[in-house]
Structure 1
Amino acid sequence: MSAARGHLIDLTPLKSSPAFARMWIGSTLAGIGGQLTIVTVMLHVFALTQSTFAVSMIAVAGLLPMIFAGLYGGMLADAFDRRRVALIAATVTFAATGLLATLTWTGNETIWWLYVLSIVISAANSVGMATRTAIVPRLIPRNMLAAASALNGVAFGVTVMAGPAVAGVLVALTGYGWTYTIDVILMLSMFLDLWTLPALRPEGDIVRPGLTSLVDGWRFLRSASNIRMQYVIDIIAMTFGQPLVLFPALGTVILGGGAVTTGILTAAVAVGTFASSLLSGRVVHYRWHGRGIERAVEAYGASILLFGVVLLVGALSGSATEHSPDVALIVAACVALALSGASDNVSSIYRNTMMQAAVPDTMRGRLQGVFIVVVTGGPRVGALYAGTLATVTALWFPPLLGGVLVIALVALLARRSRRFHDYDAENPEP
């Protein structure tokens, strides 16, 4: 029994820090609503255009604004009260989602409105995410950071598992307006948890947002080879191993089942994330985080490769339609995606812990801003890769090729960077 408990998730951060517990609960509820909107916008655009490329352009159009928001948001978090910065970012997201719901209910939504409001929401979320992540090390001690990352994996798993599944069902049964409205309601929880935090001014020398602050952050990053390497590895994984943009078309063409299948596929990733977080008791105590990232991302590439194989089999059989899904293929695809979610979550635990432990507080906001740009920007580049390649080839080809590229490129980088390979969490060095 004790051995089994040793594999289960460590809840110590929630017990020892009420402030962290409140922020974790609020972010989880708001995250569910955010996932509702992400999936619903994808389905909405596909319904208006019948184009996978148009769906991929949601992510691509928001890439530059999101990069700017992430970088500038990190500078704000290093210069001002992080609680206040997070509250302002949440307010912008709340207003944009409210406008999206209003336009939909009144029948005035257009594809351009969907693009513009998606950009605003993603930019505001970049600022908020960078700031909230920089807050965490101020709420709990360093030896609990890995456990906190695993708890955030549970939160992410719940949000991505529940949000897309509910979105698919709601769109199929009630349309788009209700989904956006529920997101607006759930976002209120984030305001409640942020209001209860104390003022959180950054420690150390404060540099006002601007070119000097950006240059200081860049100089630090140039000397932080471990941080740079985890960025590069994550960009590779997300660029070549992110098939999310294909899901709406898969529910219509290869796997069948329409919007419900889209939600199920997206939720399958979260099932893996959630399960691996629940069983993270031993994972969070593994001290060689560089090796952990390498192996987890290689496993991620193998999972995406398996997903591509499943789609190839489905394309060759050609038996599924939107109203007649191939259940066996959907299950196989979900298994592959769950494995990808589990391996990505293990990598995320080590990457987040490295960021929070090895980077000093005075730089944490800026580096978290860059980290958010990488984490959220990589999938957008991946959406362009998958959407464009699927348009000129076939839906199964991007994940098949992408999985091979992820495995090969990460293995090559691992051989060339011994310092990253030997990174020790007990002696964190950026």
Structure 2
Amino acid sequence: MTGKPRRRLLADTTPLREPHYRRLWVSGVVTVIGAQLSVVAVPQQVYEITQSSAYVGLTGVFALVPLVLFGLWGGALADVMDRRRLMTITTIGLSVTSLLFWAQAAAGMANVWVVLGLFSVQQAFFAVNQPTRAAIIPRLIPGDQLPAANSLNMTVVQFGAIAGPLLAGVLIPTIGLASLYLIDTVLLMATLWAVLALPALPPTGHTTKAGLRAVLDGFRYLSTQKVLLASFVVDIVAMVFGMPRALFPQIANETFGDPVTGGVALGLLFAAMSAGAVLGGVFSGWLPGVRYQGRAVVACIVLWGLAMVGFGVTVGLASPGDSAIFLWVALGFLAFGGAVDMVSAAFRSTMLQQVATDEMRGRLQGVFIVVVAGGPRMGDVLHGAAAASVGTAVAAAGGGILVVVGVALACLAFPMFLRYRVGEGRASDSVAR
């Protein structure tokens, strides 16, 4: 009697029985930690050089342009190239870029434009790498295991996003930013090992060129899939208006007492959302039983917006004498937001992988990565500018309110999203073994 509820509650690990998927998953545990060290190091280095949240927010601009251009092109490439080969190229590119980050930090250049330029190059490789990785997974495992596989993937990503920022908060004052970039470079070798072990994954469609026409074909296909289009819209609303991470260096310094060069509070703020997401992933065994996934996504995004309102209000109420108490309350709101965001992302990924055909999957994954990664970058710009005008607390809380309003408007524009049930329009794939 006790076994069944536990299986429904805890994460389904069935996809890990497939060796190629298992290697990608295990390598991700290591490399995501390294990547998250850089996620903290870049905005912290920019803030250390400029002491301005507006400049930290500017990282969103330098990331967004390559994410859009190379995300769309990378998705098209994933439909016309062997996906194993493309993953190999982009993983090597990410490693070299991380090494250059280390070189500039070790040389003490302290030039914000060099940091932002390298960040743009890194995001270009990332924008090609991620849709390719996502398009590979349905070729490795059966379609009915995709919700479980996506939950496992996101749990790993969020675990790294806990460990990475916490390590960064401890390591930045002791070994410096340069060492964080070097650690990221070394850990990327684990992903390269897993990619090289994959089988050949040649394209299955008739498109032979990854040009503008192929990208436009992907958008035309997306325009016929209203459920997928709606899933992109609600995620843009959530991330553009409700992602306050560009404020974390200033909040850690001015509200919670960290030095300008960074400290423990900074690491905790960056890690909190991911801590909640990991808990959401661990207890994700119930996800495959949800039939109305569109409704679940909407509910999660509304809760995300309310969590960001709570975070902003807490930051506004914090005072120097009891800032430690308010820090833990703020972290609680961020963790809750991370948990509901993980559930939303798992459902949205599953919708895309099940509804899109393999011939179009790379291009739609390209659009997906533009939305998922580009939305927070736009949010960085918005929150950085807002904080310069109205302060960090109002910027964070106001963004959360806009999330709730925006999702309500999106539901009015796309009522079919609320009616979507799992498996509708499912694409079929042969499983690569």
Q: What is the TM-score normalised by the length of structure 1? A: 0.96
Letter in 1 for 2:10: L
Q: Distance in 1 between matches of 2:394 and 2:248?
A: 14
2:21 maps to: 20
Q: Is the 8 A contact 1:423 1:429 kept in 2?
A: no
Q: Distance in 2 between matches of 1:395 and 1:109?
A: 25
2:8 maps to: 6
Residue 119 of structure 1 aligns to a residue whose secondary structure is helix
After superposition, the CA RMSD in angstroms is 1.3
Return the match for 1:384 from 378, 381, 384.
381
1:135 maps to: 136
Q: Distance in 1 between matches of 2:64 and 2:194?
A: 29
Return the match for 1:373 from 362, 370, 373.
370
1:88 maps to: 89
2:431 maps to: none
Q: Distance in 2 between matches of 1:333 and 1:147?
A: 30
2:279 maps to: 275
How far does the alpha carbon of each residue in 1:278-307 deviate from its partner, in whole angstroms, 9 at most, with x for none? 000012321211111111111111111110
2:430 maps to: none
In the alignment, structure 1 segments of 5+ residues that lack a partner are none
- Deviation, 1:214, is 1.4
Matched ranges for 1:4-403 at <5 A: 4-15=6-17, 17-258=18-259, 259=262, 260-314=264-318, 317=319, 319=320, 326-403=323-400
Q: Distance in 1 between matches of 2:108 and 2:400?
A: 41
User: Structure 1 residues 70 and 362 mapped into 2: Cα distance closer, same or farther (>3 Å)?
Assistant: same
Q: Distance in 2 between matches of 1:189 and 1:138?
A: 21
Q: Is the 8 A contact 1:66 1:123 kept in 2?
A: yes
Q: Is the 8 A contact 1:150 1:284 kept in 2?
A: no
Q: Distance in 1 between matches of 2:287 and 2:143?
A: 16
Q: Distance in 1 between matches of 2:80 and 2:387?
A: 43
Runs of 4+ in 1 over 4 A off after TM superposition: none
Residue 253 of structure 2 aligns to a residue whose secondary structure is coil
- Deviation, 1:429, is 5.7
Q: Distance in 2 between matches of 1:409 and 1:284?
A: 27
Q: Distance in 2 between matches of 1:99 and 1:301?
A: 37
- Deviation, 1:326, is 1.9
How far does the alpha carbon of each residue in 1:90-140 deviate from its partner, in whole angstroms, 9 at most, with x for none? 111111110111222222352111111111111101110110000000000
- Deviation, 1:399, is 1.5
Q: Distance in 2 between matches of 1:130 and 1:400?
A: 32
Letter in 2 for 1:27: G
- Deviation, 1:38, is 1.5
Q: Distance in 2 between matches of 1:329 and 1:283?
A: 33
Between Structure 1 and Structure 2, how many residues are aligned?
422
Residue 9 of structure 1 aligns to a residue whose secondary structure is coil
Residue 427 of structure 1 aligns to a residue whose secondary structure is coil
Q: Is the 8 A contact 1:240 1:398 kept in 2?
A: no
Q: Distance in 1 between matches of 2:411 and 2:93?
A: 40
2:406 maps to: 409
Q: Is the 8 A contact 1:97 1:183 kept in 2?
A: yes
- Deviation, 1:221, is 1.1
**2:421 counterpart of 1:424:** yes
- Deviation, 1:375, is 0.5
Residue 62 of structure 1 aligns to a residue whose secondary structure is helix
Q: Is the 8 A contact 2:354 2:423 kept in 1?
A: no
Q: Distance in 1 between matches of 2:220 and 2:36?
A: 35
Q: Is the 8 A contact 2:49 2:110 kept in 1?
A: no
Q: Distance in 1 between matches of 2:74 and 2:332?
A: 37
- Deviation, 1:404, is 1.0
Letter in 1 for 2:222: L
How far does the alpha carbon of each residue in 1:362-408 deviate from its partner, in whole angstroms, 9 at most, with x for none? 00000000000000110011011110011011110111111111112
Residue 251 of structure 1 aligns to a residue whose secondary structure is helix
User: Structure 1 residues 257 and 190 mapped into 2: Cα distance closer, same or farther (>3 Å)?
Assistant: same
Q: Is the 8 A contact 1:62 1:119 kept in 2?
A: yes
Q: Distance in 1 between matches of 2:310 and 2:6?
A: 30
Residue 257 of structure 1 aligns to a residue whose secondary structure is coil
Worse-superposed segment, 100-109 or 136-145: 100-109
Q: Distance in 2 between matches of 1:212 and 1:409?
A: 32
- Deviation, 1:25, is 1.4
In the alignment, structure 2 segments of 5+ residues that lack a partner are 428-433
Report percent identity of matched pairs: 36
How far does the alpha carbon of each residue in 1:309-355 deviate from its partner, in whole angstroms, 9 at most, with x for none? 101111xx3x16xxxx8210110011000001001001001000001
Q: Distance in 2 between matches of 1:245 and 1:368?
A: 26
- Deviation, 1:4, is 2.9
